Amino acid sequence: MKMYSVIITAGGIGKRMKSLLPKQFIQINEKAILMHTIETFYHFNPESQLILTLPEDWIEYWRQLCVEEDFKIPHRVISGGAERFFSIKNALEYCDGKYIAIHDGVRPLVNISTLTACFDAVLNQKAVIPVLNLKESLRKKTQKGTEVVNREDYLLVQTPQCFQREVIIEAYNQEFNERFTDDASLVEELGIDVSTVIGNDENIKITTQADLIYAELLLK
């Protein structure tokens, strides 16, 4: 059994990016975003098992892209489901790590400090996620309009979300429910506490054209 398995989920179809090409395949510095993400985890720990989930219709495209770009980092490709939940559930069947991390394929800017904090913490905690404090003011919608809330009470959640193997497998044995917004919310449904570590500001999920410009600047 390996120490770590990393599931990199890339099920996007490019709607918010307004692109015919799914965002994970858009190139930054002549390399697909997804390749940047995989490289980050491989360079952090070459011994980790890397599992990639993709929409069925785009798996062959990815394989051809890897050939064209001579991309040889070892990874296993799994067909994704109709929802992220089912993509992860599929991938978990192939994980052989004692600890399992789940990461968004379009977050190529996660840094070594964040990865180190997550992977170290999960050795002693059942579930660990990277978070950031809010910097802007925050308001909540109400029936009358909006009202200010204390931003100190809220955190921005990032990935990778890391878990002890038995915990995340049990979490994904639950029935799918739309209220589960991420892997940590599934684990909390089991009554298990989720620990937090500090993430990095650059670790954005590339979703819009503005995100793409930001990522291009940093990856240069």
Task: Give the pLDDT band (50/70/90) at residue 2.
Answer: confident
pLDDT in tens, 8-63: 999 755 454 456 799 999 999 899 999 999 999 999 999 999 999 999 999 999 99
How far apart (Å, rounded) are the C-alpha atoms in residues 8 and 219? 19
pLDDT in tens, 63-92: 999 999 999 999 999 999 889 999 999 999
Residue 10 tokens read as 């890339």
Domain 2-219 annotated CATH 3.90.550.10: yes
pLDDT in tens, 96-148: 999 999 999 999 999 999 999 999 999 999 999 999 999 999 999 999 899 99
How far apart (Å, rounded) are the C-alpha atoms in residues 119 and 123? 7
Residue 39: partners with Cβ closer than 8 Å, 6 or more residues away? 73
Question: In degrees, to the nearest 5, what angle opens at C-alpha 132 toward C-alphas 90 and 81?
Answer: 15
Residue ranges per structural domain of the chain: 2-219
pTM, two decimal places: 0.94
Place of tokens 């002549």: 30
For residue 132, report the phi and psi dihedrals to the nearest 5 degrees. Answer: -130, 145
* Element housing 218 (H / E): helix 209-219
Closest CA to 171 of 192, 191, 186: 186
